[in-house]
Amino acid sequence: MVRIIPATSENNYANPIFRSASRVILESSDLDEEIAQMEDKIKESMEAFNAKGSGWTFGHIEKLEIQLNEHKPLKGSSYIPLPKKLAAKKAIVNVKNEDQQCFKWAILSALHHEEVDQKSSHRVKQYEKWTDELRFDGIDFPVSFRGIDRFEKFNEGIKVNVYGFDMGKEGGVYPMRISEKEDAGAKHVDLMLVANDETRHYCWVKNLSRLLTAQVSDHNGEAYFCRRCLNHFTRQEKLDQHIEYCGQKKAVKIEMPSEGSYISFQNHIRSMKVPFVVYADFECFTTKVQPEPAKSGVDRIMQMLEHFLELIKQKVEGGEPSEPHTKILQKHVPSGFCYHIKCFDETVYAKEPVIYTTQQEGEDVGQIFVDRLTKDIREIYQQNDFKKPMTMTEEDKIAFAEATKCFICDQELGEDRVRDHCHFTGKFRGAARTMIAI
């Protein structure tokens, strides 16, 4: 990154590092959304960097590093006793299998629970006679979430949802894998994936409402829960209305702020007037072009990430990378511009807007804009003092002594009150809290 210091006309350089957050990609269909979120994180980091010191522009990319790690997905395996919090709800059937096929036994316990001895519903032998009715072609045990996708494909009448449980959180049940199949007549099977330090284990949630009600209510009234987001309703018709909308979204648990909490505006520095503001606009004409690489730094990074995305798709799905969704057919060529430097005090600085229209074909209008604006800004710095000391009248001193609230954030003043002034004019602005004053 580079910027020009107006007072000295010298270049200031910085080599910041912008990172995206680590993402877990389980399905190739999730790639576009995951990459988009990584792009957003990089853009946010660049904007935050610019906010710390204005005037930065992109110079060049020194290094682009993409780190890949193999993700070993969760798999259900052999029997694990339920945590006490879950067992106490009596909403889960936990089959005691000694093999690696807890997923199969959990599914069978859901399909045939009413046909077995209820006192022995946790025993494998209660369900052995139905093992041939389900297809597990090509599914490895223990079963991963990708294996569940395959199971649903071969057993079309069954939809499988998987939930996890966080012992450390109040209301610790959360969705881990929600079926995307849309089939009104399908059998919904809700599974809980519990874990210890050595293994993981699927078991059947026979009563999702009983499992979740204690998380949202202290009374024993019936609640109707959405399997996708775990939002709850008091009536079935309200749930049905919600499901129509929620089915269009990704599965996620909604967590509301605790009662009595609130949010408020905190970036008070952004509410203060600045001495100068620049308003600018360009006019352009379009020309047909052949697709070409993006020119800006951010776009170049995004272009590399898109290429990386295609390579992943090729690895996951096989075949050739798909054609890009965006085709560049035209480009905007600046033909003129207008900018206006506005000072909050026109007695200090007042000039007419600068208007420019291209004089000949091939002119670099963008560079002309930068050159002219830079020249005007340098003149402003040369002609004005931006660090004037504070001047206070007797009225200002009385106002400061009698003030009870910060004039910036409107919070009560304490012993930390300070005099705040405009560094451009030197005029006293008001009493402020130390942490707010600028």
Express each pLDDT in 384-405 by its tens digit. 888 888 889 999 999 988 888 8
Q: Alpha-carbon distance 53 to 6, whole Å?
A: 13
Dihedral sign of CA atoms 38, 41, 43, 45 in order: negative
Q: What is the pLDDT of residue 34?
A: 74
**pTM of full prediction above 0.85:** no
Is residue 142 within 8 A of residue 75, CB to CB? The reply is yes
Work out the pLDDT band at 349, boundaries 50, 70, 90: confident
Looking at residue 173, its pLDDT comes to: 86
pLDDT value, residue 155: 92
The amino acid sitting at 73 is: P
What average pLDDT does this structure show over 29-38?
70
Mean pLDDT of 247-253: 60
Model confidence at 203: pLDDT above 90 = yes
pLDDT at 103 over 90: yes
| 136 contact partners, CB below 8 Å, separation of at least 6 | 104, 151, 154
pLDDT at 347 over 60: yes
Residues 92/205, Cβ–Cβ less than 8 Å: yes
Name the residue among 234, 152, 224, 154 with its Cα closest to residue 191. 152
Kindly tell me if the per-residue pLDDT of 56 is higher than 80: no
As a whole number, mean pLDDT of residues 19-33 equals 65
Q: What are the CB-based long-range contacts (under 8 Å, 24+) for 131-135?
A: 131/104, 134/104, 134/107, 134/108
Asked whether residue 412 carries a pLDDT value surpassing 70, the answer given is: yes
> Does residue 371 have a pLDDT over 90?
yes
Identify the three-state secondary structure at position 277: strand
> How far does CA 85 lie from the centroid of its chain?
31
Comparing 1 with 231, the larger pLDDT belongs to 231
Do 169 and 104 contact (CB within 8 A), yes or no? no
Beta carbons of 200 and 144 less than 8 angstroms apart = no
399 Cβ neighbours under 8 A, 6+ residues apart: 428, 430, 431
When comparing pLDDT for 365 and 302, which is higher?
Answer: 365
pLDDT for residue 92 = 94
Q: Which residues contact 52 (CB under 8 A, 6 or more apart)?
A: none
Looking at residue 328, its pLDDT comes to 76
If pLDDT is split at 50, 70 and 90, which confidence band does 161 have? very high
**Whose structure tokens read 């090729």?**
314
- Does 276 have pLDDT greater than 80? yes
- 241 phi, psi to nearest 5 deg: -65, -40
Q: What is the structure's pLDDT at 395? A: 92
pLDDT score of 4? 61
Write out pLDDT tens, residues 110-141: 999 999 999 999 999 999 999 999 998 888 88
- Is pLDDT of 315 > 60? no
How many whole angstroms from its chain centre is CA 382? 43
Give the closest residue to 212 by CA, choosing from 36, 344, 86, 383: 86
Could you give the dihedral angle defined by the CA atoms of residues 114, 118, 121 and 122, in that order, rounded to the nearest 10 degrees? 150
- Indicate the range of 17-31, 34-48, 133-147, 316-330 predicted with least confidence: 316-330
Place of tokens 């030197």: 426
Rounded-to-integer distance, Cα 145 and Cα 151, Å = 10
Question: Which H or E element spans position 242?
Answer: helix 236-246
Segment among 66-75, 153-162, 204-213, 278-287 with least mean pLDDT: 66-75
Flag whether pLDDT at 355 surpasses 90. yes
Please give the pLDDT value at position 172: 78
Q: Which residue has the tokens 């994936």?
A: 193
Q: Is the distance from CB of 74 to CB of 144 less than 8 angstroms?
A: yes
Which tokens in the block code for residue 22?
């680590």
HSE of 17, CA atoms in CB hemisphere, 13 A:
5
Q: Is the pLDDT of residue 188 over 60?
A: yes
